[in-house]
Amino acid sequence: MKARVGGFTLLELLVALAVFAVLATLAYGSLARVLEGRDRLAARADALGRLQRVHGQLARDCSALVARPVRDELGDPEPALRRAPDGSLELTHGAFGNPLDRPRAQVQRVRWQVRGGVLYRDAWPVLDRVPGTRPQAQRMLADVRRFTVAIEAGADARAVRVQLDAPPFGAVEWLLPVPEDV
C-alpha cells in the first residue's frame, strides 16, 4: 500500500476559494461604504467651511461698521448701514486693511447681495461714487435659496439679523451686533 502524499484535494481548494471570495466581497462592500461616507463627510466639511467664511466676513463687516454715510452714483445720500430695496445689505466698515501702506481710505463700502442664486460681497473702490463706478464682486456662496436681512434696533443694542438658506445645511440665522454709536 502506498503512503498518502500530503496536500489538498481539488474539493478542498474550491471550498477555500469560495470562502475567500465571500469574505473578499464582504470586505469590499464595507470598504466601499467607508469610502462613500468619507466623501460625504469631506463634502459637508467643505460646505461648512464655506458657510463659516461667509459668516466670518459678514460678522467682521458688521462689527467694524463706521458712521460714515456715502453718496450713490446720482449724489443721493445713503446711511452707513442700510437694507436696500432689493433686499441686499450695504454698509461702510473700517476693517479695510492696508498692509502695503498704499494711499487710500481706511474705510470701505460693501454690499452683500444674491444674484442668480450666488451670494456676492461687492466692494466699491471709493466711498462717494460717481456715475460709472463699479464694485469689485467677490463670490462668497453658491446655491443660495434665500438671503434676507433686517436691521434691528433695541433699547440696549443694535444688530443685523441675517437669514440664509443654502444646501446642505438649510436655513441658518445669524444675529450680528453692530457698534452702538453708529
SS (H, E, C) 124-140: CCCCCCCCCCCCEEEEE
Q: Is 103 exposed, middle or buried (0-12, 13-18, 19+ CB in 10 A)?
A: exposed
Alpha-carbon distance values, 80 to 37, 58, 66, 120 (Å): 46, 15, 7, 19
Q: Where are the domains of the chain?
A: 51-141
Distance CA 83, CA 106 (A): 23
Distance CA 108, CA 92 (A): 6
Single-letter residue type at 167: P
pLDDT digits (tens, 9 = 90+) for 52-96: 999 999 999 999 999 999 999 999 999 999 999 999 999 999 867
Give the CATH class of 51-141: alpha beta
Distance CA 91, CA 129 (A): 14
**What is the model's pLDDT at position 155?**
66
Q: Which grid cell is 108? A: 470701505
Question: What pTM, to 2 d.p., does this model score?
Answer: 0.78
pLDDT digits (tens, 9 = 90+) for 9-28: 888 888 888 888 888 888 88
